[in-house]
Amino acid sequence: MKLTIGHIYPDLLNLYGDRGNIRCFQKRLAWRGIEPEVEVICAGDSIDFSRLDLILLGGGSDREQELACQYLKRVKYGFRRYVEGGGVVLAICGGYQLLGNYYRTEHTAIEGLGILDIHTEWKPERLKGNVVLDSPFFEEPIVGFENHGGRTYIGKHTALGKVVRGYGNTGKSGQEGIVYKNLIGTYLHGPLLPKNPQVCDYLLGRALWRKYCKKVLLEPLADELEKRANHYMAT
């Protein structure tokens, strides 16, 4: 078996080591005897979504987001078909914001891709620090680090989790992130996946199911250290 992971615009969207999520995907596949292939897609490259089993869209500054969005608008209909067809996506921070209708910054409004019915408003006070989430999708807490000026309003969408510690989407809603079909959007850096192997395996399992039309049982890995670190942050 094999999964092809598309890393979209790492030349623009790679704040706080988001590239580490790619390494986590690779290692947790390889340790189980599943071949990982990473397709690095830089700004201006064409994107063949039919080749991709899983996509990472990382975070960037406002300027980099604006540049990335200009390129992504060229493929937004293909991206939307991919998401609506069950394509697996992890969108972090700026990538999460870009999937919405718009992001209003301090000086301008960036039109988003409109894949999710959400929007983001900039505020001068940054929301930053460690985060702990209680998520209905996972038995263990989700932990990470946030640092964002945007407040993302997700409307009727389902949140990734309830904020136990930290700020989350708006600092007031008590919610963090979003789950839509096989897409997870979140503000959590860290990188997210090495700190939360349960989230990594969730995404890998969804991608394998979609590609091979069957449930692939992912054998347990030696995650004792990760679980201890998770527990330490969560308590």
- Write the DSSP symbol of residue 104: E
Cα atoms in the Cβ-side hemisphere of radius 13 Å centred on 222: 1
User: Does the annotation count 189 as an active-site position?
Assistant: yes
Q: What is the dihedral of CA 206, 209, 211, 217, to 10 degrees?
A: 100
Ramachandran assignment for 16, one of left (phi > 0), alpha (psi -120 to 50 degrees), beta (any other) = left
User: How far is Cα 231 from Cα 211, in angstroms, rounded to an integer?
Assistant: 33
Which element (helix H / strand E) includes 2? strand 2-8
User: Does the annotation count 93 as an active-site position?
Assistant: yes
Catalytic one of 93, 119, 148, 200: 93
Catalytic one of 7, 119, 148, 189: 189
Q: What is the DSSP string of 111-180?
A: E---SSS-EEEEEEEEEEEEEEEE-TT-SSPEEEEEEEEEEEE-TTSBPSEEEEES-TTTSSSSEE-EEE
Q: Radius of gyration over alpha carbons of the chain, in Å? A: 17
Cα atoms in the Cβ-side hemisphere of radius 13 Å centred on 11: 9
Instruction: Kindly list the catalytic residues.
Output: 93, 189
